[in-house]
Structure 1
């Protein structure tokens, strides 16, 4: 297994730890050990999320630069990305920071795009990633970080604005994928 795939696996392994620290402890758990979690859990979750997000940046870079692209990497990397982002967004819903319907929109877009990619690939075609898909991912990552950071410092409406932009980029990139797919499906 090459270094790029190892980084992807590390990202997947970090996800449960992110969730453990990001989900607030119930109020009825007032033992000292849980007091630490309530004070520092979000900060630890933020650090874990940043590290996991950076592995996404580095695994792709290393795979392209050193020609380490494998079928395993092509399979695992997008799954790891989706699990990380979706887990983080579900945690933010649980914490009351974002609305559940926005996460449903993001998940629906991802399922539609993945389904269309599969249909198009069966025709021997590939839909290239578009810039709005990359913008979407980056804005989602930044918004999660901002929401977690907002637990400690007042960021006013900045997390909400960045998340709204992420949602717009999500929908727009999905529309682009649908339009591109229709061209191949009609042929």
Structure 2
């Protein structure tokens, strides 16, 4: 068996950064800053989270644009996404900004789809990322950013922020379940 070294591309570096920063730095910032509900601190953590999340779009865009798609990138990208979201959800749960029921459902969906994807790979079935899964990811990111910022009590927007947060939580749940159902349907139809 011949083992070859693969050149690490810029998109893969972005993915590795998201993996490390998302798994370690984002949750530490959420737990260290957000319980105090200081407007500037929460905004900083939310913007930092959004910047880290943006690398998910950026690495794929750059990889396709410059034909730098790699096996390593394809393996690490979903892992980095899940690490970022799981760590953020757990950090928000720890500080009391997210109910454990949401976390269990969202993480359960992600683990189920990861299992389906692994079974698909084993069966040599290709399941491409669906548009609903892309929407799900975008809504998850926006939802977490809103939860990190909330409450915005000093200017009287508590109810507006709470409504926005609730709407995004339900949208997040809907797209999670819908895209999960869609992946399972695609997988079982190709068996």
Task: Give the match for residue 30 of structure 2.
Answer: 22
Distance 1:144 1:10 in 2: 19
- Structure 1 counterpart of 2:148: 148
Counterpart CA distance in 2 for 1:106 and 1:63 is 28
- Determine the C-alpha separation between the residues in 1 that align with 2:121 and 2:17: 28
Alpha-carbon distance change, 167 to 156 in structure 1, aligned in 2, over 3 angstroms: same
1:169 match:
175
- For structure 2, which runs of at least 5 residues remain unmatched after alignment? 1-7
Contact 1:62 1:68 in 2 (8 A): yes
Counterpart mapping for 1:90-129 below 5 A:
90-129=90-129
Superposition pairs of residues 59-70 of structure 1, within 5 angstroms? 59-70=59-70
Provide TM-score, normalisation by structure 1. Answer: 0.86
Aligned to 1:178: 184
- Number of residue equivalences: 176
Runs of 4+ deviating beyond 3 Å: 37-41
Is contact 2:46–2:146 with CA below 8 Å preserved after alignment? no
Could you tell me which residue of structure 1 aligns to residue 3 of structure 2? Answer: none
Answering whether residue 95 of structure 2 is matched by residue 74 of structure 1, we say: no
What do the CA deviations read for 1:15-58 (whole angstroms, capped 9, x no partner)?
22211121147x9xxxxxxxxx7645433321220110111110
Pairwise CA distance, 1:89? 1.2
Per-residue deviation at 1:108?
Answer: 1.4
Distance 1:133 1:38 in 2: 31
Q: What CA RMSD, in Å, does the superposition of the two structures yield over aligned residues?
A: 2.0
Q: Is the 8 A contact 2:37 2:151 kept in 1?
A: no
CA distance in 2, matches of 1:45, 1:53: 12
Q: How much has 1:122 moved relative to structure 2?
A: 2.0
TM-score (norm. length: structure 2): 0.84
Mark the runs of 5 or more structure 1 residues left unpaired by the alignment: 28-36
What is the Cα deviation at residue 177 of structure 1?
1.0
Q: What residue is the counterpart of 1:34 in the other structure?
A: none
